[in-house]
Structure 1
């Protein structure tokens, strides 16, 4: 749980500390790049904090999974345009794509106790 929280809190902070990089990663077809980077950074922070709190873990987990899915097009965009990211080896841009599914699984696994408890409560 702590690893997931640290990962997302760190990512959220990075959205603000390295905003230009994240703006550059936004696909051309989306508008409001800076605003979307800010929004995704805030949600990463909230999700990372929320997953640590038992009362908000389930909602935070679902939110983080939605966020991972929502930012996936930016990851694909980066892989399709490696020339825009000269400091990042193109292999890394492609290799990280399947890791997004692994991140979803990690979050899903982290919220398992809350999902199981909810099912037990609902069936009682």
Structure 2
């Protein structure tokens, strides 16, 4: 829920700021800035809630803690890459792939009722998944529309 709030609030504030400064709306830029802020926000979680996020990594994967740190770094790089003209389309495709690849972790967190912030098994269960799956889809569409389609 927090990433969605960060995404939408940043989008609205950026959209209004650009309108005020430039006299027109720039929806695609505002959307990319909002996605970048959201990615930076979620990346912080990889470093603050490492133990809980490690619990989300599927069991067959080795080096779980390293994967959590790496995905946090990838989110930071993705946030930056969305604003570099030469690589923003590639970054967008890689972020879409990233969001698809995160689905198994979200499914595991749901099925095992993982609370990644506490590192416990008292999370929201299937409720988390029913919210998270459409949210991942929103992120994918958001990136596609604001970066790939607009290029």
Q: Is the 8 A contact 1:9 1:49 kept in 2?
A: no
In the superposition, the TM-score normalised over structure 1's length comes to 0.81
Are the counterparts in 1 of residues 36 and 80 from structure 2 also a CA contact under 8 Å? yes
TM-score, normalised relative to structure 2: 0.68
Which consecutive unaligned segments of at least 5 residues does structure 1 have? 115-124
**CA displacement 1:15-73 (0-9 Å, x = unmatched):** 11221121111121221101111111111110011112222211111111111111110
User: In proportion to residue count, which structure has more helix?
Assistant: 1
Instruction: Find 2:47's aligned residue among 12, 16, 19.
Output: 16
1:4 maps to 2:4: no
Local SS of the residue matching 2:79? helix
Residue aligned with 1:113, SS: coil
Task: Report how many aligned residue pairs link the two structures.
Answer: 113
Out of 105, 113, 120, the position equivalent to 2:150 is 113
Q: Which runs of 5+ in 2 are unaligned?
A: 1-31, 115-119
Tell me, yes or no, if the aligned pair for 1:12 and 1:42 is still in contact at 8 Å. Answer: yes
Query: In 2, Cα distance between the equivalents of 1:15 and 1:22?
Result: 7
CA contact (8 A) 2:43 2:76 kept: yes
